[in-house]
Amino acid sequence: MKKTVGIIGANGYTGSELIRLLAFHPHVTLSFLYSRSNSGTSISDPYPDLTTVCEMVLTDKPEEVDILFLCLPHKESQNWLTQNPVKDETLVIDLGNDFRLEGNFENRNFIYGLPGINKKQLMGAKSIANPGCFATAIQLALLPLAEKGMLNEVFTTGITGSTGAGQSLQATTHFTWRNDNVSAYKTLTHQHVDEILKQLVSFNNKEVILNFVPWRGDFARGIFTSSTMKTDLELEEIEQLYQDFYAEEPFVTISRKAVDLKQVVNTNRCVVQIEKSGNVAVIHSAIDNLLKGASGQAIQNMNLAMSWEENAGLNLKPVAF
């Protein structure tokens, strides 16, 4: 029997991507799509791409389900769970940042949902905190070095598509501003830095300094990061270290060729490439911010928690043209 799924905040970008993927998932059926602002309208109205895929009517009345995804603005998931108690048996996956740093909430202990480091803990979990998009891309680029205690000071730049800012229109997401334009934002203060450092330090067993400069790109979706650090390892040694670390990861690929965003857009994949000159190494990583950085990884976490095949519903081809 298929498991029932509900989505809170279904009318946002991450919610709509969950619908697109779950509509074809072999083990689940969508029971309700929750939205306070658009209750009573079909999900295919704001998202015509869902026409014939899913035309369920949005509701402001949640139901009991087996699996619940929270796709709410940051800092709203905890309030929603407080006001809408969920049975203990329900698997709750939060795509916001409420439980990434502090996972305890009432009788739930949220597991940090990065399969590359917490796969065993995610199996059978009932509460999962999905990582942030930049946090996913940067951690996947640095974790193999952190495991060996080789991180000291890292300089990272990363560029993200406009969908990373959410559905609500802002001055910096308006087409006439974003098109043919690039800008830095939240320099050295991005909200994902604490989340990244918490995981890296626990692996590295010593302090890590992360100098992160995020950029806004003039494209809709995708994240590309480049992390620079000093190391005496040869390039071949670093590549082997990464191959070994991700040997059992179906969605992380180590490439010896140049990486580009089109390799990952519309997929749950992360592609990593390593370059080195002298004693300086650069680790590039590319993901789709709405999939590996959000909804795709949430489904991967659901698959692990429910003991389903890890790639169920996630066999997606990148967009080449």
**Active site positions, annotated:** 133
- The pairing of strands 28-34 and 252-255 is unpaired
**Which residue has tokens 């580009």?**
260
Distance, in Å, from the CA atom of 114 to the CA atom of 143, rounded to the nearest integer, reads 11
Residue 138 identity: I
Distance, in Å, from the CA atom of 128 to the CA atom of 131, rounded to the nearest integer, reads 9
Please report which residue ranges of 87-220 form alpha helices under DSSP H: 115-122, 133-147, 175-178, 192-204
Please name which of 245, 178, 243 lies closest in space to residue 215, comparing C-alpha atoms: 178
Burial class (CB in 10 A: 0-12, 13-18, 19+), 4: middle
Distance, in Å, from the CA atom of 295 to the CA atom of 289, rounded to the nearest integer, reads 9
What are phi and psi for residue 58, nearest 5 degrees?
Answer: -65, 145
What beta strand segments (E) does the chain contain? 3-8, 28-34, 67-70, 91-94, 104-105, 108-109, 111-112, 127-129, 153-160, 183-184, 209-216, 223-230, 252-255, 270-277, 280-287
Residue 165 carries which DSSP code?
A: G
